[in-house]
Structure 1
């Protein structure tokens, strides 16, 4: 996901940007699953709290939605 961190930006912000880019370029089309908190932790080495902040921010921005028990998915564009 990320091979080198930018020192001047929070890690959660960098991860969120990667996921948003993948949504924009079609890697994650609408209504498809995005990586889970655990997958983000495993792929990036960040703490669980950091990965949760990524997901919370993406939900707040309306980029993804979460279905309890199923995961998080790309929201439809309006």
Structure 2
């Protein structure tokens, strides 16, 4: 899924994959999204890259994190 020869940074490519999974219902609202470690394993990316992906999705309001429990898909906003 990740094009290692692309000029597009890996964290953007992974974030795009997760956004698509949220949009198509693979990850439903309130369901857990992959952890940093799981993202590392699935996509072959570094820990910092995985953290950046989750941070960006949090900034976009697509996920929220519960300390000690993980990150989850946010409910769709009313204006979406």
TM-score (norm 1): 0.93
Aligned to 2:26: 27
- Distance in 1 (CA, whole Å) between partners of 2:51 and 2:71 is 12
Q: What do residues 17-67 of structure 1 show as CA deviations (whole Å, max 9, x unaligned)?
A: 000000000000000000000000011111100000000000000000000
Q: Count residues with an aligned counterpart.
A: 77
Structure 1 unmatched runs, 5+: none
What's the Cα RMSD here? 1.1
Structure 2 unmatched runs, 5+: none
